[in-house]
Amino acid sequence: MTTVIASVPMNVNVRPTVPAGAMPGPPADPSQTVEATRDTSLWWKSAVVYQIYPRSFADANGDGVGDLAGIIERLDHVRALGADTIWISPIYRSPMADAGYDISDYCDVDPVFGSLADADRLIGEAHARGLRVLLDFVPNHTSDQHPWFIESRSSRDNPKRDWYIWRDQPNDWRAALGAGSAWTWDEATGQYYLHLFLPQQPDLNWRNPEVVQAMHGVLRFWLDRGVDGFRIDVAHCTGKDPTFADHPRCLAGEPLADFNDDPYSHEVLRGIRKLVDSYPGDRVLVGEVNIRSTATVVQYYGAGDELHMSFNFPPLDAPWDPVVFRTCIREVDALLQPAQAWPTWVLSNHDNERHRTRYGGSMRRARAAAVMLLTLRGTPFIFQGEELGLEDVVVEPGQRVDPGGRDGPRGPIPWDFAPPHGWRAARTWLPFPPEAAALSVQTQWSQPSSMLHLYRTLIETRRASPALRLGSWEELPSPPEVLAYCRRHGDDERVVCINFAERPLPIDLEGDWRVAIDSLPEGLDRRFDGMLQPEQAVLLEPLHRPRPQPQQQRQPLQP
Ligand code: GLC
C-alpha cells in the first residue's frame, strides 16, 4: 500500500485551536498557531475527542486493571494520534456495581485508579502536551454506599431523606441494565426509592436545592483543579415527571432512561451551564442524551444556555447501511443547523458493541467509517481502540463482569505485540480483544497502511483544513449506495465519497479532484477517476490546489 502519511498536506497548525491563556501548558510555538489565532471559533468545535475507559486503557501498577498512572504513561499515544481532548470515564470512589458509574465520593479517586494526587498529575501532564481533559459527571444517581444515601435511608426524618426520591407506592417505571422495576423497597423505613439504573444507584432528587448546591460543589471541585469540562452522564434524566404517572412504554418493557424527557432536566442543565460559564477558558459540557430522537436531542442545547454539545446516538446503533447513515446525517443537518447546535459524531463507546463488530467484523468497512467519522460536520469522538480497529472481546459466561452485558467493547488495549501486550499483570480484568498482537499499537505504528495511521492521517488532515473542521456540509448527487458530500469554508473545499456497496460504483463529480486520503491501499495523490471500489471511502481535494512546501511539512509524531 500506500504511504498515506507522505501525501497529507501539513502546511498548517497541528496544535489544538486553543484561545491564548486558556490552558496551562508549554508556550505556544508561533509558527504553529498562526491559523489558530485567526480562527475565532470555539476550541471544542475543532476538537477531536478521545474517550479513555480507565479500567482498560493502561495499567501502571500491575494489578490487571487500568489506572491513572497508566493513562499518564500513554498520553503520548493520544498526542501522536492527533486527538486534542480526552474524556475519561469515571475515576471516582465507587463500589463498582456499574464500573464506576455508581459513585460513593465525587471528590476523591477510587484506589483502584490511584489517588487525587494522580488525578492532578494527569491533568497537568495532559495540559503540558496540549491535551484538554473532560471528566465524566454523573448527576442522576450516586452509589447506595454514598454517605448521602446512607443518611437518607437511615430514617424518614433524616435531613437528607429528601435528597433522594422516596415513595410509598411504586409506579410502572422500569430501570435500565435489566434491573426490573425502578423502585426498590427499603425494609427499615418502609418506603421505595427510585433508581433508573441498578438498585445500587439511587436517583438524586434535583428538585431539592441542597442537592443542587452539593452537586454544584462537585463541579467546582474539579473545575478548580483545572478540568476543561465534563461529559454529563444521562443528562436527560435528572428531571422526572413530578406526578409519577405510569408510562405505557415502561409497561411495554422499555427502561425510563431511554426516553425520559421532563422539562426540569433543562432547568438543571441551565444551572450547570451558568456555573461552568462562570469559569475562564471556555469550559465545555457534552451531554449523554441517550434518546434515539435527534429532534428531542436538539432541545438539550437550549437557547445556547444548556449543553454545548450533545451526543446523538443513532449512528451508534447503525448497521453498515447507506440509507440509515444518510437519513441520520441529513436529519442532524436539518435539525441542528437552524438551532445553531453543534453536532457530535460517535460510532463506538463503552456501552455499545464496537462498530467494527457491528459491521460484521469487516476492517474494510471500519476503515471507510473512519473517513466518514472524521470528515462530517461536528466534533468527532473516538472510543479508545477504534483507532486500532479493535473488535469486541469474546467473554465466556463465567468471565462476565458487567450486569448490563456490556463487557464486549471494554477489553484492554493491546499496546505491545508480545503478550501480555504492555500490561504488567498475568491476568487482565477482561480478556484482550481478538487479534491483539496484530492490532497492537506497537505493530500498527510500524505499518504505514495500518488503521492507526489512517486515523492519524485523517485527524491531521482535518486539523489542517478549515473546511473539514468548521465548513458547511452539503450532500452531493450519488448512486443510492454511495454517500457523497462536500465540505466548504472560504476557498477551502473537500469532497468525501463513501461506497457502502460490495461492488464498485461510479460517481459523477463536477471538476477535477485528487485523492488525498483513501480508506484502501489504492495509492494516493492520484487523480480521482470517478470509480469507487467496494466499501471504499475517499477524501478528495481540488486537483489544482497549491501543494505544501517541503519546509512546511513535519515528521509524523510517534510516541
Ligand atoms: C451511562 C453510562 C453507562 C452507565 C449509565 C448509568 O449510560 O454511559 O455506562 O451504566 O449511564 O450511569
Tell me, yes or no, whether 377 lies in a domain: yes
Q: Amino acid letter at 344? A: T
Please indicate, yes or no, whether residues 507 and 454 belong to a single structural domain of this protein: no
Determine the Cα–Cα distance for residues 399 and 429; give it in Å rounded to an integer: 9
Q: Nearest C-alpha to atom 2 of ligand 1 is from which residue?
A: 233
Query: Helices 263-277 and 209-224: crossing angle, nearest 10°?
Result: 40
The size of the chain, in residues, is 559
Tell me, yes or no, whether 355 lies in a domain: yes
Assigned C-alpha cell, 247: 408510562
Please indicate, yes or no, whether residues 460 and 528 belong to a single structural domain of this protein: no
| Average pLDDT of the segment spanning 148-160 | 98
Q: Catalytic annotation on 73? A: no
pLDDT at 546: 56
Residue 68, φ and ψ in degrees, nearest 5: -65, -40
Tell me, yes or no, whether 273 lies in a domain: yes
pLDDT at 217: 98
Q: Amino acid letter at 327? A: T
Determine the Cα–Cα distance for residues 438 and 477; give it in Å rounded to an integer: 39
Determine the Cα–Cα distance for residues 406 and 365; give it in Å rounded to an integer: 23
| pLDDT, tens digit (0-9, with 9 covering 90-100), for 253-302 | 999 999 999 999 999 999 999 999 999 999 999 999 999 999 999 999 99
Please indicate, yes or no, whether residues 300 and 392 belong to a single structural domain of this protein: yes
Tell me, yes or no, whether 182 lies in a domain: no
pLDDT at 544: 77
| pLDDT, tens digit (0-9, with 9 covering 90-100), for 375-397 | 999 999 999 999 999 999 999 98
- Domain's final residue, options 443, 467, 491: 467
On whether the CB atoms of residues 515 and 494 are closer than 8 A, the answer is no
15 pLDDT more than 50: no
87 lines ligand 1 (CB under 6 A): no
Determine the Cα–Cα distance for residues 235 and 381; give it in Å rounded to an integer: 17
Determine the Cα–Cα distance for residues 25 and 16; give it in Å rounded to an integer: 12
Assigned C-alpha cell, 281: 477558558
407 lines ligand 1 (CB under 6 A): no
| Average pLDDT of the segment spanning 200-209 | 98
pLDDT band at 521 (very low <50, low <70, confident <90, very high): confident
Determine the Cα–Cα distance for residues 115 and 91; give it in Å rounded to an integer: 9
- Domain's final residue, options 452, 467, 482: 467
Kindly report the CA angle at 51 between 48 and 53, in degrees rounded to 5?
Answer: 165
Determine the Cα–Cα distance for residues 274 and 493; give it in Å rounded to an integer: 37
284: part of which helix (H) or strand (E)? strand 284-287
27 pLDDT more than 50: no
pLDDT at 317: 92
pLDDT at 557: 56
Please indicate, yes or no, whether residues 483 and 441 belong to a single structural domain of this protein: no
Tell me, yes or no, whether 41 lies in a domain: yes
Mean pLDDT estimate for the chain: 91
Q: Which atom of ligand 1 is nearest to the CA of 141?
A: 12
351 lines ligand 1 (CB under 6 A): yes
pLDDT at 297: 97
Q: Which atom of ligand 1 is nearest to the CA of 177?
A: 10
342 lines ligand 1 (CB under 6 A): no
What contacts 262, CB < 8 A, 6 or more positions away?
239, 240, 241, 242
Please indicate, yes or no, whether residues 406 and 516 belong to a single structural domain of this protein: no
Assigned C-alpha cell, 172: 410502572
Tell me, yes or no, whether 199 lies in a domain: no
Scanning 227-291, the segments in alpha helix (DSSP H) are 248-251, 263-277
97 lines ligand 1 (CB under 6 A): no
Pocket test for ligand 1, best of 204, 234, 291 (most atoms within 8 A of CB): 234
334 pLDDT more than 60: yes
Determine the Cα–Cα distance for residues 44 and 506; give it in Å rounded to an integer: 36
Assigned C-alpha cell, 526: 492520484
Please indicate, yes or no, whether residues 22 and 64 belong to a single structural domain of this protein: yes
Assigned C-alpha cell, 326: 444518510
CATH code, 131: 3.20.20.80
Is 554 or 271 the better-scoring residue by pLDDT? Answer: 271
Lowest-confidence range among 43-47, 130-134, 178-182, 524-528? 524-528
Determine the Cα–Cα distance for residues 423 and 441; give it in Å rounded to an integer: 13
Distance 230 CA to ligand 1 centre (A): 14
98 lines ligand 1 (CB under 6 A): yes
pLDDT at 36: 38
Q: Which residue bears the cell 485523492? A: 515
291 lines ligand 1 (CB under 6 A): no
Q: Enter the DSSP assignment of 191.
A: E
pLDDT band at 14 (very low <50, low <70, confident <90, very high): very low
| Average pLDDT of the segment spanning 124-138 | 98
Question: pLDDT above 90 covers what percent of the chain?
Answer: 88
Please indicate, yes or no, whether residues 482 and 436 belong to a single structural domain of this protein: no
CATH code, 525: 2.60.40.1180
328 lines ligand 1 (CB under 6 A): no
On whether the CB atoms of residues 515 and 524 are closer than 8 A, the answer is yes
Q: Catalytic annotation on 110? A: no
pLDDT at 551: 46
pLDDT at 536: 98
Assigned C-alpha cell, 511: 471538476
Distance 457 CA to ligand 1 centre (A): 32
Distance 438 CA to ligand 1 centre (A): 31
Q: Which atom of ligand 1 is nearest to the CA of 351?
A: 9
Assigned C-alpha cell, 350: 463503552
Please indicate, yes or no, whether residues 402 and 493 belong to a single structural domain of this protein: no
Tell me, yes or no, whether 441 lies in a domain: yes
On whether the CB atoms of residues 374 and 459 are closer than 8 A, the answer is yes
Tell me which of 59, 136, 144, 233 is the catalytic residue: 233
Please indicate, yes or no, whether residues 427 and 495 belong to a single structural domain of this protein: no
pLDDT at 547: 54
On whether the CB atoms of residues 552 and 534 are closer than 8 A, the answer is no
| β partners of residue 141 | 203
Domain that holds residue 62: 12-142+206-467
Determine the Cα–Cα distance for residues 8 and 457; give it in Å rounded to an integer: 7
| pLDDT, tens digit (0-9, with 9 covering 90-100), for 80-121 | 999 999 999 999 999 999 999 999 999 999 999 999 999 999
490 pLDDT more than 60: yes
Please indicate, yes or no, whether residues 329 and 260 belong to a single structural domain of this protein: yes
Tell me which of 102, 203, 288, 391 is the catalytic residue: 288
Q: How far is CA 240 from CA 149, 197, 245, in A?
A: 19, 14, 10
Other residues' Cβ atoms within 10 Å of the Cβ of residue 527: 11
Q: Amino acid letter at 466? A: P
Domain count, the chain: 2
In terms of Cα–Cα distance, which of 219, 261, 240, 226 is closest to 23? 226
Q: Nearest C-alpha to atom 6 of ligand 1 is from which residue?
A: 101
Q: Which residue bears the cell 457534552? A: 286
On whether the CB atoms of residues 374 and 334 are closer than 8 A, the answer is no
Q: Amino acid letter at 82? A: G
pLDDT band at 32 (very low <50, low <70, confident <90, very high): very low
- Cα 552 to its chain centre, rounded Å, is 32
Whether omega for the bond prior to residue 255 falls within 30 degrees of 0, making it cis, is: no
Helix (H, G, I), strand (E, B) or coil at 26: coil
On whether the CB atoms of residues 371 and 539 are closer than 8 A, the answer is yes
552 pLDDT more than 60: no
Q: Nearest C-alpha to atom 4 of ligand 1 is from which residue?
A: 101
Pocket test for ligand 1, best of 88, 94, 197 (most atoms within 8 A of CB): 197
203 lines ligand 1 (CB under 6 A): no
Q: Which residue bears the cell 465519497? A: 497
Scanning 206-321, the segments in alpha helix (DSSP H) are 209-224, 248-251, 263-277, 294-299, 314-317
As to burial, measured by CB atoms within 10 angstroms (0-12 exposed, 13-18 middle, 19+ buried), residue 263 is exposed
| pLDDT, tens digit (0-9, with 9 covering 90-100), for 428-484 | 999 999 999 999 999 999 999 999 999 999 999 999 999 999 999 999 999 999 999
Please indicate, yes or no, whether residues 218 and 312 belong to a single structural domain of this protein: yes
234 lines ligand 1 (CB under 6 A): yes
524 pLDDT more than 90: no
Lowest-confidence range among 31-40, 175-184, 222-231, 272-281? 31-40
Assigned C-alpha cell, 283: 469550559
Tell me, yes or no, whether 369 lies in a domain: yes
554 pLDDT more than 50: no
DSSP 451-507: HHHHHHHHHHHHHH-HHHHH-EEEE----TTEEEEEEEETTEEEEEEEE-SSS-EE-
Please indicate, yes or no, whether residues 228 and 333 belong to a single structural domain of this protein: yes
| Average pLDDT of the segment spanning 228-237 | 98
